Each structure stands twice: as C-alpha cells, then as structure tokens.
Amino acid sequence: MILIGENIHIISRSVSEAVRNRDAAPIQALASAQAVAGADYLDLNLGPARREPEEVASWLVRTVQEVADLPISLDTMNPLAMEAGLKLCRKRALLNSASGKSESRESMMPLAVKYNTQVVISVITDRGCPPDVDSRVESIMETVAYANDMGIANEDIWVDPIVLPVSADQKQVSEALEFIRILPDLLPGVKSVVGLSNVSNGTPANLRGVLNRTYMVMLERNGLYSAIADVLDGELVELNSGGLKDARVLIHRVMDGEPVDAEALPEKEKNYVKTARILMGDALYSHAWLET
Amino acid sequence: MEYKAPLETYSGRVRAVTIGRGKKALRVGGSNILPLHYFEGAVPNRPVIALEVDDNGAAGWAGSAVEPFRDVVHDPVKWAGRCMELGADLVCLHLEGTDPHGANRTAAEAAGLAKKMVQELDSPLIVYGCGDDKKDVEVLAAVAEICRGENLLIGPAVKENYEAVLRAIVDNGHCIIAQTPIDINLEKELNVKLLKQLPPDRIVIDPLSSALGYGMEYSFTIMERTRQVGVVYGDTAMQMPVIADLGRECWKTNQAKLDREQGMLWESITAMSLLLAGADILVLRHPENCRLLKEAIEGKL
C-alpha cells in the first residue's frame, strides 16, 4: 500500500511555528525523516491557509523539495495556496483534496486538470458527510461522474471515504471499511485513500497507534490503495511491508468472524485482536477497550 | 392453524444486584428482556421506585413536591419512614447538605444521619453524595465505613474520584453507583475500571437523567443503548441495572415550580419514558407519581 507521510501538518505546533517564521530546518528534518522511514508521498497540510496563502504554499513546497525527492500531496482548502504549490511540484502531485461540494467542484477540480495532477475526491457533498455506505456510494458516483466530464480519468482519482474517530462514531468505522471493499465494483480503475490517523482522534495518545495500525491492515485487506499515515510509526511501516504476519492473520480472522481466543495470545497479538473487534463494531468502544 | 406470535430471545441478561441485607434486602435487575417486555423471558425482579429524602430540609424543592412531607422535612429519618408508608420500595438519601458551596455539613454529620436512617428504616437505602467529586470522597467513605456491612447502594463514583470511592465500597461491603455524563463510551470505560475490583452484581449504572424538555431524549438513548448492548449483544461490561435519578431534575424546572399539575406531569412523563428506556430503579420525589409508576410497572396502565 502507498504511504503518504502525514507529519508536516499545520495543526502541529512545531510545524506552524516553522511555517510562520519561514524556518526551513524543522520542516526539512520532518521531510527527510519520513522519506527515510519509507513514505511514498509527503503530505503538506496547510489547512485553510488564510494568511499569505501563495507565499506559504510555495515556500513550503520549495523547502521540502530541497531535501526530499518524493511526490507531494498538497493538502489545503484554499485554492490560491493549492495553485501556488502545484505550480512548483517537480513530480506529478496529488491534489488533496476535492469533494462533491460545489465550491470544490468549481475551484479545486479545474486545478487538477490545469496542472495534470492526481486528485483525492472525498464523499463529502454540500449536505455534509454521508452517514452510511449507500449514501457514500450515491455521492461518490455523482462527484466522480462530474470529474470525468471535466476530463479527469478514473485512474487519476483517489477516492476518500472519510474516516471518522472510533471514539466519536463507532459505526462509521465499519461503514468506511465496507465502502472500500465495494469501491472497485462501483468505479473500476479508481484508487482509494484514507486519512488513517483520524480513526484514533480523541483516543488517549498512547493508545492511538494500535488503532491506526489495525485499521490499516483491515482497510488494506479490503483493497485500500493508499493511506495518509504516521510513517514514523515503525510498526505501522513494518506491517505495511508484510511484517508481523501473526498479527495480520489474526486481524483477518476477526474480520471473517472466526472465533479467536484473545486471552491465550501474547500481549501484542491480543491487543490487535481486541482492537479489530472494536473496529468491526463487534464490541462497544471505550477508552479502556484493551483492558476488557 | 393457531397463530403464535414470534418471540425474541437474547444472549445477555441484566445482572441482579441486591441492596440491603437480611429481611430488608431488595433485588433489582436480573431479567433477560428488553424493558417491560415481560413476555420475552425471565423477569425475577421488576423495576423499583425509590422516593427521595434530603438532609437539607428540602431547600430549593418545589412546593408541590414538599407538600406530602411538609411536617417531616427537617427530620430526614421520619421523612424516610413516610416515604415507605406512602408506597416506596426503598429510600434514596441525597446528602445535598454536604455541598461545600451550600450548607457544607461535615462527612461525620452525614455519616451519622445515614447510620441512623439504616437503623430505623425498614427498607434498603440508596445514598448519593452532593456531586462535588472531592467532598464526595470524604462523605461517601465516611458513610460506607459507619454503615459497614449494611450493603447500601452508594454513589456517585465518577471518572475523577472512582478509585477512592471504590476502595470505601469494597472495604465496607456496599454496592456502587457508577455515574457518567450521558456518554455510552465513558460509561463502559468506568464500568471496565470498576469491574477490576468489584463483581458486576455490586454495580449500578447512572448514565445521568435529564428532565423532559431539558435533554431527556439523550438520557433515553443512552439507557436504551445500554440495554441493547448488554442484553441483545451480550457485552458483559454493560449488564448492570440502571438507576434513573430523575425526580430532582424534573422538580427543579421552572415548569414544575410554577404549577402543581405541571410538576406532577413533568415527573411522571419523564419517569415513564426512562422506564421504557430501561431504568431498573427510578428515584422520584412525589408519592402520587410513585403509585402511578408502580401501576405502569405492574402493567395496569
């Protein structure tokens, strides 16, 4: 699976400070670390980029490209910042993201055409985030058809089902999983991508990793093409490159509804099994899910 | 051919909890049905009604709720006796007077009152602290200690103080009220923590009750889901009886304070709704509503 490094994110205080002061060193350190860790793309998340959108975007893209020879996933809701950044991307970029919202159709999708990028298209529409598989299908079919009409081919579209935190809305976690499973039948040729760490948003920090990793294995099994993820999590990268076979097999068995005696397993495997059960919706989530 | 209505059966059951000891003991929970679906399975104990007594002379109570107790509100033990005469299954003592922002009575005073009530009352007892999580640790520990072995139902234990409250409960042989702020995930988390030191038949869940018009539907949803997760899906961390401490919430509304009939309706409708949602213990203030809800529980309404 393609891994897109998430760590250059404006929500991080060190990143936002570095961007504000145009201090290249911390940004370049993050870029290099993620490249070494095995990222296939680097996500540069500027958020809404209200102040000096164009200057910030071009500075960030230049700064990162000075040290990392990876394609960039440019992540901002601001079309001015998006365009300024895309202009400078040396490798074919990933526009992150467009959606079915009218403003996105009007201002983001044309940029994907103009700069010949690949493009993330989420299931969000003017009505918000669809609550179940069927409504996700309905909205993505409509939005992708619109993108096709603009000249964007399915092969360049990375569909994002929108991952929500398990601590906030547990049901959405399995809905997104199911959506990824049926996506190739709905829209042959499209790729898929998730913001993986969002599944563990709101969960105590020391417990986030196991949720992210377990969900990644589950999504990958259902055909996920790529994830924006914490590539500095060594175990996550190891799992993605085929390591930790026992844990993977156990997670798959939970997905298949097979009985697994979690208590008989070593600590690490036991935690993966319990986490998979939570993400499948087999047991109610609580912050203490590993303690039951 | 004779028609036979299909019956649902479930893998889980609500754990039975005993409150009090000896002849006074009362059992709640224990059924493997959805709320009031008596036809679905075993119902060893139907829901019960507690009437509320406070240690603060009914300060701030709506006049209509005080009416049946006007002559005894300054003697909580007599007040409790009156509750039983008027049909309550048990008494719920709220130690409002210990509130540091109010009368700030000491833990020893509160414990003395609880002890006296246990001795003189012919019913099991629920004891709630004032809700200040620090003061409650002191007060509830003192109550637990002085009433050692009486198997009271004591709370609230909340995220902020459950370790200390739990210790007092475990050491002195009582049951605990696990209270969380209308959130199913936090409710389960607290249960999981408590279950490490206490068996499920000594825990009662308080998901917080809101009054009609003040968020009752949130309480309803959480109680309903608690039952579904515990009984239908068999989640063993969610199978304890539920207490709906609703009387106080209803009688503090402007609507209830304004007018007797409105107050009676506010409490009875909220109680009826939370009964349907799955409450096993309803805490009310007015004895007329106690009678009404008992009829509902017996299926006579």
- Structural domain boundaries in chain B: 17-297
Which residues of chain A fall short of a pLDDT of 70?
none
pLDDT at residue B5, rounded to an integer: 86
Domain B17-297 has CATH 3.20.20.20: yes
pLDDT at residue B195, rounded to an integer: 97
Tokens 């009875």 found at: B268
pLDDT at residue A205, rounded to an integer: 96
CA A142 to chain centre: 22
Does the pLDDT value for residue B208 go beyond 80?
Answer: yes
**Number of compact structural domains in chain A:** 1
Sort strands B26-28 and B17-19 into parallel, antiparallel or unpaired.
antiparallel
Q: How many residues does chain A have?
A: 292
pLDDT tens-place string over residues A156-215 = 999 999 999 999 999 999 999 999 999 999 999 999 999 999 999 999 999 999 999 999
**Are A286 and B196 a contacting pair at CB < 8 A?**
no
pLDDT at residue A122, rounded to an integer: 97
Does the pLDDT value for residue B301 go beyond 80?
Answer: no
pLDDT tens-place string over residues B82-138 = 999 999 999 999 999 999 999 999 999 999 999 999 999 989 999 999 999 999 999
CA–CA gap between residue B254 and residue B270 (Å, rounded): 15
Residue A277 lies in a domain: no
In three-state form (DSSP H/G/I as H, E/B as E, the rest C), the secondary structure along chain B is CCCCCCCCCCCCCCCCEEECCHHHCEEECCCCCCCCCHHHCCCCCCCEEEEEEECCCCCCCCHHHHHHHCCCCCCHHHHHHHHHHCCCCEEEEECHHHCCCCCCCCHHHHHHHHHHHHHHCCCCEEEECCCCHHHHHHHHHHHHHHCCCCCCEEEEECCCCHHHHHHHHHHHCCEEEEECCCCHHHHHHHHHHHHCCCCHHHEEEECCCCCCCCCHHHHHHHHHHHHHHHHHCCCHHHCCCEEEECHHHHHCCHHHHHCHHHHHHHHHHHHHHHHHHCCCEEEECCHHHHHHHHHHHCCCC
* CB proximity list for B279: less than 8 A, separation 6 or greater: B35, B47, B209, B223, B242, B243, B244
**Are A291 and B196 a contacting pair at CB < 8 A?**
yes
Provide the residue type at B222 as one letter. I
Based on the number of CB atoms within 10 Å of its own CB, is A73 exposed (0-12), middle (13-18) or buried (19 or more)?
Answer: buried
- Cβ-Cβ pairs closer than 8 A, A with B, add up to 31
Domain that holds residue A179: 2-208+224-230
Provide the residue type at A165 as one letter. P
Residue A143 lies in a domain: yes
Residue A237 lies in a domain: no
Residue A254 lies in a domain: no
Chain B residues with at least one Cβ partner in A under 8 Å = 184-189, 192-193, 196, 229, 233, 235, 237-238
Helices (H), chain A: 13-20, 24-37, 53-67, 79-88, 102-107, 109-114, 133-149, 170-186, 208-221, 234-240, 245-255, 267-280
pLDDT at residue B143, rounded to an integer: 98
- In whole numbers, what is the pLDDT of chain B averaged over residues? 96
Residues of chain B with Cβ-Cβ distance to A288 below 8 Å are 188-189, 192-193
Residue A272 lies in a domain: no
Name the residue in chain A with its Cα closest to that of B238. A284
Does the pLDDT value for residue B29 go beyond 90?
Answer: yes
Q: What's A43's domain CATH number?
A: 3.20.20.20
Cβ contact B51:B92 at 8 Å: yes
Residue A271 lies in a domain: no
pLDDT at residue A280, rounded to an integer: 96
Does the pLDDT value for residue B1 go beyond 90?
Answer: no
pLDDT at residue B92, rounded to an integer: 98
Count of C-beta atoms within a 10 Å radius of residue A204: 10
Residues of chain A with Cβ-Cβ distance to B189 below 8 Å are 286-288
pLDDT at residue A226, rounded to an integer: 98
Residue A169 lies in a domain: yes
pLDDT at residue A101, rounded to an integer: 95
Does the pLDDT value for residue B165 go beyond 80?
Answer: yes
Residue A282 lies in a domain: no
